[in-house]
Amino acid sequence: MRPTYSARFFSIIATAVFACSAAADDGKDAEIDELRSEVSQLRDTVAELRSTVQEFQAGDDWLTQQRADEIRGLVRDVLADADTRASLLQDGMTAGWDKGFYLGSADGNFLLRLGGQIQVRYAASFQDKAPSGEDERYGFEVRRAKLKLKGHVVDPTWKYVLNLAWDHDDGGRQGDIDVEDAIIIKDFGGGWELWAGQFKLNFLREELTSSTSQLAVDRSYVNELYNQDRHQGVQVFYTTDQFRVTGAFGDGIGSKNLPAYAITTDWAATARVEWLAMGNWKQFKDFTSPPGSDTGLMVGAAVHWQDDKYDQPLTGKTERLTWTIDGSLEGDGWNLFAYVVGNHTDPDVGSSRDQIGVVVQGGYYFADDWEGFARYEWSDLDTAGADDVSILTVGFNRYYAKHVIKWTTDVGYAFDAVPLNQLGINWRLDDQSEDGQVVIRSQLQLLF
């Protein structure tokens, strides 16, 4: 009997279903095998990662331990350094501020004091007929910038002073560092001291009074003509309650910072005596006298002799004798100061000269920190074509912290032609047929 079409159809369907079922079973097995392979790979990767993490953890512990050791060592060093510093402060060092910075040993045998001075100035000069062709000149300048060191070594009787300054050259150049004072001082007690080195000759009181403690913006024109400035040599001081006597021997005028074989003087000697009639020595370190000050009176006199070592090209050998007498009177908010100075020079070639100068100045406090002042000066130079010079200066001081911070302004008028350049104090050479030069100056000072 032949199968019917329906039977064939069902047979074909059954065969197809069986084939599909077999194929499905084969696909599942393949997927399972693939999944098993991936799981095996993942297990290997996880094992590697676990091993790496363990290594990093072990390394981090090692680095942490190393840092801890380093920090411990650093702390030990810092503590040791702190102990050393504390020991130095306790056993061998003092430092701080006492009217200036200081550093010293605890036993008092070594001391260094550090200070300084800055003066910033505006100056203007007005002339009728300037030889330079510029009737008006004006501008700012750092008039003084100084670093000052002083103290003692070994014991308080061996003292030293070293002052360095930013040099102000009258020729117009600034910038070089200049040694002003370099002094070794031995204090013998009983008012006796011996100085050796480079220092100001103890002659004109106006020059001896520090540039920090002047009444006007700067010293007088007469002072610049006659002062002896600094020299190299030795000097003896003797001080009592009422008298102070000094004597100096050395290289004389013009010997500042020169080597021994460049000195042109044969010998030079200076002597000065001061009498303190009232008050105390300290109050005459400056020219001002604030309200509330006690009355003080001091009179001084000095003389300087100098002789050349050899003949000069134009004048031959020259002898010089210079003298001065001064007086200072101070009271409750007011002050007066005056001096006369004379100079005699006698060259082998040419005529001798006898010069004389006078300075009178005074100040008065019109408020607690405001002081007005006036100064008149005159000199006969006994020189052809440059005979007399006569200048009046008036101005004021504003004290913000005594001399430590001070603003000074003044105006000067020359009644005669100014005979010589004195650019350090801002006066210019005049045409000798013209007078009436006006100089205006304003200066701010700071001390540290």
Q: What is the pLDDT of residues 366-397, one digit of tens each?
A: 999 999 999 999 999 998 777 799 999 999 99
Residue 72: how many other CB atoms lie within 10 Å: 10
Instruction: Return the closest-CA partner of residue 358 out of 203, 191, 225, 217.
Output: 225
Q: What was the pLDDT predicted at 174?
A: 59
* 314-342 tens-digit pLDDT: 657 889 999 999 999 999 999 999 999 99
Residues 6 or more apart from 187 whose CB is under 8 A from it? 156, 157, 158, 159, 193
Cα dihedral 405/411/416/422 (nearest 10): 30
Flag residues of the chain having pLDDT under 50: 1-25, 60, 62-63, 172
* Token couple for 290: 């604030």
Q: What was the pLDDT predicted at 57?
A: 57
Distance CA 272, CA 208 (A): 12
* Token couple for 157: 């009787």
Phi and psi for 318 in degrees, rounded to 5?
-120, 135
Q: Which CATH architecture has domain 102-447?
A: Beta Barrel (2.40)
Q: What was the pLDDT predicted at 23?
A: 43
Q: What was the pLDDT predicted at 24?
A: 42
Q: What was the pLDDT predicted at 403?
A: 97
C-alpha to C-alpha distances, 322 to 41, 45, 227, 366, nearest whole angstrom: 112, 106, 9, 38
* Token couple for 168: 């102000």
Rounded to 5°, angle at Cα 119 from 113 and 124: 165
